[in-house]
Structure formats: structure tokens, C-alpha cells
Amino acid sequence: MSTINKLIALLACVTLILGCLVSCLGDTPDVGGEELQSDKYVANIRIKYATNDAKMKAAIDALSSTSTLTVVGETLKLVTTASVDDISAQNEYIYIDEVLYQSRSVKISDKSVTVLERAAIGAEQRDSLISKAGPGAGISIGDFLNFEINTYDDITEYVCSDMLDDSKESLRQIIAESFEGMGAIVMIDSASYRVEIKNDRNQSSVLSCNLVINMDGVDYEVTMHLYYDYDYDAEISISVPENADAYTEVSADEIIG
């Protein structure tokens, strides 16, 4: 696979998978009690793909990424970075005062290019940014048939298995869009979810998927792990970019689709 195609796959993964799964940051289990999830937090997010097949490994290396989501009420900032070989990419969203700013940067060796765009969006479109694939894409305990509860100190851990068919299909569609540039067919063999909760707030979680990727008639086994770690005490500051005047005015659809 060419490095350009890898980059396309990388950027697709950044936009689609994080865009929808970030929506489950506010989920707490339906086990009674009030939901006390904070409207101010920082979430560190990692997506890691792995396979034992050398050919597929070359194709999926570009899909692993790290992100930081910062939320203060209705204001948010999402920064995602990824790299493969000598290519690195960063995608930054800032939503503040009903304006969405997007900065996309790609660096190849010693050359780089940055695109700056902004659009006026309302609350509904903001939600679309966080949950691009629709409400069925948010993953939580309720998406699984079975779960075990473990308690230690002041942490309650939920270990979930046997994902519901509808939830699995929704997740499959999201992941499949990331592989479209490779001409692949994606199937989810199994999925599990583990979340640690303290004081009714998610502290960390891991979504794990065993995938079967069919390319050119050949099946490849791939694992995907999506990690979240939350910080509710971090010093947070989100502001309009200093170079806001350099952002080109576009429609909301051109940024969030």
C-alpha cells in the first residue's frame, strides 16, 4: 500500500472512529443512582490496531492514533495525531461560541501543509461533530448482553461481553468506513468492553474488537483496542485560535459532513 493511501486511511480513521465513539464519554451504567458525569474533563484517547499478518500490518499501521478531548460545558477541543513512516498528521477541532475551527496539518519528511477552516454551527451540529455516526454508535454497558462487576477500593469495574447484534452492526459500519480506501470488507467476530467507574464517573475504559478484514478474497485477523483515560481535575482553558482571522469561512457540512 502506498504511503499516500496510508495517509488517506489514517485521516479517515481519525475523523470517523473518534468522531462517533467520543459520544460515549458521558455514558454511565444504568445501575441506579444519579449520573454525576462532569461537564468539565480531559479525555486521553488511543486507538491501537494489531495483526500477526505482515501484509496487513503495513496497511493498518496508519490507523493507530492518539487524541486529547477537552470539554468545558458546551465548549470543546479535540486534537488527534497519527503517524506512519515519515508521514505525520494532526487534526484539531475547537468549538467555542457557536463557531467550529478546524486545523488540519500533514507533514511528509521535511515538507508540510496546513489547512485552516471555520464554520458557524449550532448545538445540534456540535452534537453531530461528537457523534458523527448517529446515536447507535455510542458504546456503553447497555450494548452488551453480559457483564461482571468487580469492586476494589472505591472503584467499580464492569467487564462486558457478548455485544448486542444491533450495536455490533452499528460499530462494524463505523470501522468499515475507515477501511473503504483499502477496498476491504470488515466483520466483527467479537467485542468486549471494560470500564472503571468512581463516584459515578468513568475513570478509564477499553473497547476491544476482534475483526476479520477481507481484502482481495483473503481474510485477515485484526484486533482493535480503543482506550480512554479521564481527568476531571486538570486545569482547562479553551480559547479562540490566536490566528482566527487566517481561517477560511466554509459551511458546516464541509467540516463535519
Left if phi > 0, otherwise alpha if psi is -120 to 50, otherwise beta: which for 72? beta
- Tell whether the model's pLDDT for residue 27 goes beyond 60: no
Distances (CA, A) of 83 to 128, 170, 181, 193, 228: 26, 27, 17, 26, 20
Across the chain, mean pLDDT equals 81
- List, for residues 201-244, the tens digit of each pLDDT value: 889 999 999 999 998 898 999 999 988 899 999 999 899 999 99
- Tell whether the model's pLDDT for residue 90 goes beyond 70: yes
- List, for residues 33-61, the tens digit of each pLDDT value: 334 457 899 988 888 889 998 878 877 87
Instruction: Give one DSSP letter per residue of 151-213, joined into a string.
Output: EETTEEEEEEEEE-HHHHHHHHHHHHHHTGGGT-EEEEEEEEEEEEEETTEEEEEEEEEEEEE
Q: Cα separation of 20 and 127, whole Å?
A: 10
Q: How does strand 111-120 pair with strand 99-108?
A: antiparallel
Would you say 96 and 89 are in contact if contact means Cβ atoms under 8 Å apart?
Answer: no
Cell numbers standing for residue 223: 484486533
Of 77, 51, 48, 50, give the one whose Cα is nearest residue 64.
48
- Tell whether the model's pLDDT for residue 127 goes beyond 80: no
